[in-house]
Amino acid sequence: MSVVVVTDSSCCLDPELVERYDIRVVPLHVIADGVELREGVDDLPADLSGVTTSGPSPAELTEAYAEALSDSGGDGVVAVHLSRELSGTWSAARYAADALGDRVQLVDSRTTAMGLGFAALAAAEAARSGADVRAVYERAVEVAAHSRTLLVVDRLDHLRRGGRIGTATALLGTALAMKPVLHLVDGRLVLREKTRTMTKAMTKLVDGVVDTAEPVTAVAVHHREAPERAERLAAELAGRLPAGTPLSVSELDAVLGAHVGPGAVGVVVSRA
């Protein structure tokens, strides 16, 4: 047996990788017309403009952790989740982990999307290699800490309504017709710099990836209903990163998509 890694559906991992490394993905929830739906399990509405979101319940997480712990043969579980500053998932996860004892180790990734995905994947690779639960935990923490997430959205009101940015930042972007570049700092989404056009914002995203002293090990481009914009960003990144740097493009699923809104594009970089 080996340590089992659990994460949540904000991780944006390719299903093939999830299956290959037996990563357990607990769904986040979308509430549409009063009905609670599970991301990645239930059919979700195409139009996310009127939905709200929530994390999994303590009972759901307890069940997922208990099953993973049993499947590990007692070797342990490392649960890697999105930032506690972005979701209530952490509180529910803490409750569930405490109920099962110290063989369930909990990691607040302080990030989301492929920032979370890179950490969960690295943890699963360590588990596959035979690392014990503490080493798997430390690997997840290390990789999460070395990720950088940058984002630009068409409209900030989606993030404001969800409580993911402050009202002042949202009003700045709306009133001045700005395209603010946002980034995750200590798990919070905050303003990085102001630009006036999407083209300039995209340039800032590229610069934010390549202007780093640490070697880049992988890059993920995300978007919501903006595939051409994402492909253009990926092409620009490919032209400035060392040849062979892993680079993926994917659309954000419903929960993250509901918060960033249509037209959003972002990039996550994993660094050594």
Residue 31: enclosing H or E segment and its boundaries?
strand 29-32
- Check residue 35 and give its pLDDT: 87
Question: Do the beta carbons of residue 223 and residue 113 sit within 8 Å?
Answer: no
Domains of the chain plus CATH, in order, are: 4-145 (3.40.50.10170), 147-271 (3.30.1180.10)
- Check residue 175 and give its pLDDT: 47
- Check residue 91 and give its pLDDT: 96
Going by their DSSP bridges, the two strands 29-32 and 52-54 should be labelled as antiparallel
Tell me the pLDDT of the chain (272 aa) as tens digits.
Answer: 799 999 999 999 999 999 999 999 999 999 988 889 899 898 888 878 888 899 999 999 999 999 999 999 999 999 999 999 999 999 999 999 999 999 999 999 999 999 999 999 999 999 999 999 999 999 999 999 999 999 999 877 667 665 555 544 544 545 456 788 999 999 999 889 889 899 999 999 999 999 877 899 999 999 999 999 999 999 999 999 999 999 999 999 999 998 898 999 999 999 98
Residue identified by tokens 């590229």 is 206
Question: Among 19, 22, 21, 45, which residue's Cα sits nearest to residue 33?
Answer: 45
